[in-house]
Amino acid sequence: MKLNKKILMDAIAILAIVLIAVVGYKLSPLLLPKADIVATIAPGCDLHRRACVARLPDGSRIELSISPQPIPMLEALQVEVRTIGLEPSKVEVDFAGVDMNMGYNRPELAPANGAGPGLFRGEAALPVCVTGKMAWAATVVVETGRSRIAAPFRFNSEPD
C-alpha cells in the first residue's frame, strides 16, 4: 500500500513539473519579446531629445519617438513608431527595466488614420523606480506576415 502511494505521489510530482514547463513555454513570449530579426540602433540615439532610428539588414527602418521630452515617469506618454520598408500587421513597444523587473508593460500601437502607411501611435506610462535613476529598454516589436522584428532602444529616467 505504501509503495503504491509513493509511486502515485511521484507521478503527480512529475506531471506537475511537465505542466509548469509547458505553461512557461507557452507564456514566455508575453514576458520576453522573441524576434527573428534584431535591428541595429543608430549611434547617438537620445529618446529624451528626438526620435531614434533602428536599421535592418535589408535597408528597412524603424523609428521610435516618445513625448513629452524629456521622458517623464508616471505621466501619459505618446508613443509613435514609423516603419519604412516594412508592412507591419502588429506593432508593440515593450518597456522593461534593464536591471530591475518593473512588470509587464507592452502597449500595442494602432495604425494612425490618415497619416499614411507605416505610422503607429499609442499611449504608455513608466512606473516610478524607488531607487531613483532607472535604465529602460523600449523594445519595438514589429510583426509582419513573415517575421517578427525587435528594435531595442535604451534610455535612462530619473524622478522629478
All structural domains of the chain with their residue ranges:
1-31, 37-157
Residue 69: burial class (beta carbons within 10 Å; 0-12, 13-18, 19+): middle
- pTM for the whole structure: 0.74
User: Which residues are 84's β-sheet partners?
Assistant: 61
pLDDT category at 1 given cuts 50, 70, 90 is: low
pLDDT for the residue numbered 80: 96
Give per-residue pLDDT as tens, 7-66.
887 778 788 787 776 666 555 554 445 667 778 887 888 999 999 999 998 899 999 999
**Total residues found in the chain within this entry:** 160
Rounded-to-10 torsion of CA 79, 54, 136, 98? 140
Q: Ramachandran region of residue 118, left (φ > 0), alpha (ψ -120 to 50) or beta?
A: left
Q: Cβ distance 86 to 140 under 8 Å?
A: no
Bridge pairing between strands 148-157 and 40-41: unpaired
Please state the rounded mean pLDDT for residues 80-93.
94
87 has pLDDT over 80:
yes
CATH code for residues 37-157: 2.60.40.10
Please state the rounded mean pLDDT for residues 147-159.
84
Q: Cβ distance 92 to 109 under 8 Å?
A: yes
Give per-residue pLDDT as tens, 100-140.
888 788 899 999 877 678 899 999 988 876 666 788 889 99
Top pLDDT among 146 and 29 is at: 146
pLDDT category at 147 given cuts 50, 70, 90 is: confident
